[in-house]
Amino acid sequence: MGNIVAIVGRPNVGKSTLFNRLTQSRQAIVNEQAGTTRDRQYGKVQWLDKEFSLIDTGGWVVNSEDVFEEEINKQVKIAIEEADVILFVVDVVNGLTDLDSEVAQILRRGGKPVLVVANKADNYMLHASSAEFYALGLGDPFCISAINGSGTGDLLDKIISLFPAEKPMELEEELPRITIVGRPNAGKSSLLNAFIGEERNIVTDIAGTTRDSVYTKYNKFGLNFYLVDTAGIRKKGKVTEDLEYYSVIRSIRAIESSDVCILMLDATRGIESQDLNIFSLIQKNKKGLVVCVNKWDLVEDKSQKVISTFTKAIRERLAPFTDFPIIFISAVTKQRIFKVLETAKQVYENRKKRVSTAKLNEVMLPIIENYPPPAWKGKYIKIKYITQLPGGSIPSFVFFCNLPQWVKDPYKRFLENKIRENWDFSGTPINIFIREK
């Protein structure tokens, strides 16, 4: 199960630059308007044979323009609660500030492994001045330069050595793992309780490796799977639950450890930016998706017209990925909640679906013949053969052609849509690869 590493520190010490360096992306736009993007602050880091999730907490704080100490303290508390290792970034050029000392005090009490990262040590002359950070009482500072990458390898080695020893996941059989996600008050707990309901005896809890994912085994009505439930759903965290970014960070582990995510929307509120954040986490992790519009019992007008307007709005907001089921439910009156489970199971099966090579070529080659990829500088692109890759977490199709580098995204989307029109892959992402024959 994934480990989570959080970056904390006061503003302008280079947290985003470090985030970009470690995730090897240019995702977080550095020195932009404070706090404009949220989902950019989450990425995966691959080092040696380990992979972990990196969170830049600074990006999740609401009013980062007026840097209140309390806002920074809030980030630090979240990091202490949610992360396995904390990177405390300080700035060698500016030296130690009062705010740094205050943050260090909270971190020392937090009891989590903390690494002091002395950033902006762009040359060795500056390494000597990092000695003052010993005063923080958090051990040896790591001198790095997030801009040119020096020192980041040692830092990554150290991070990995601090992860808790992996206990292998004790799940009995290969069952679908289904997670209910959504922002606070969308009705996650009510849905969970409606599922588990009166027959509590049919449900067994198995704690996951990570501190807080609980796998609840569910088998009735011929359905058999694990509901992945994060502690955030069951126990109210120490940090008040209404913090938006808090619930997004909470969702990270649950999403990473599941196969299919049930995204709960609140019918009375429509889609909000936080729903989009959670959706983008599901997409980045390539998980199956079922969208549930909850609290349908509170909507006055339930006509087909309202339903189709609602459905259209959801698909538009979540485009380009639009091939997923949307179910209108009420957790309170238990309306259509069984359908949610059946649909989630179907999406899980779609993720595992295999299409035979013969069938793929028989259906897709004529379509491609009618709409070939656009020619590039007078060269014609010919796709000759298609096959589905074995295994893998999601269905992956390889199209072999003569000039793979000239097949662009719009055409890949066209191919994906045609596959979806001919086979039911509803709810699951698909990989399309174009390779040289």
> Considering the entire predicted model, what is its pTM?
0.74
Range in 3-12, 179-188, 299-308 the model is least confident about: 179-188
Residue 247 has pLDDT above 70, yes or no: no
> What pLDDT digit, counting tens, does each position of 395-421 carry?
999 999 998 888 888 999 999 999 999
Range in 225-234, 257-266, 273-282, 381-390 the model is least confident about: 225-234
**What tokens appear for 34 in the block?**
């404070």
> What pLDDT digit, counting tens, does each position of 316-333 carry?
888 788 899 999 998 888
pLDDT category at 231 given cuts 50, 70, 90 is very low
Burial 2-39 (b: 16+ CB within 10 A, else e): bbbbbbbbbeebbbbbbbbbbbeeebbeeeeeeeeebb
- Say if CB 248 and CB 281 are below 8 A apart: yes
Residue 195: helix, strand or coil by DSSP?
helix
Task: Give me the sign of the Cα torsion angle 74, 243, 318, 188.
Answer: positive
Nearest Cα to Cα of residue 262 among 205, 324, 171? 324
Pairing of β 142-143 and β 177-181:
unpaired
> What pLDDT digit, counting tens, does each position of 363-377 carry?
999 999 999 888 888
**What tokens appear for 29 in the block?**
């736009």
Residue whose tokens read 């008040």:
240
Looking at per-residue pLDDT, the higher value among 397 and 250 belongs to 397
Range in 112-126, 158-172, 295-309, 337-351 the model is least confident about: 158-172
The conformation of residue 376, written as its DSSP 8-state character, comes to B
- Say if CB 106 and CB 76 are below 8 A apart: yes
CA 204 to CA 200: how far, in whole Å?
Answer: 8
- What is the model's pLDDT at position 235? 44
Cα 244 to its chain centre, rounded Å, is: 15
CA 222 to CA 219: how far, in whole Å?
Answer: 7
Q: What residues are paired with 223 via a beta bridge?
A: 220
pLDDT category at 39 given cuts 50, 70, 90 is very low
Neighbours of 62 (CB within 10 A): 12
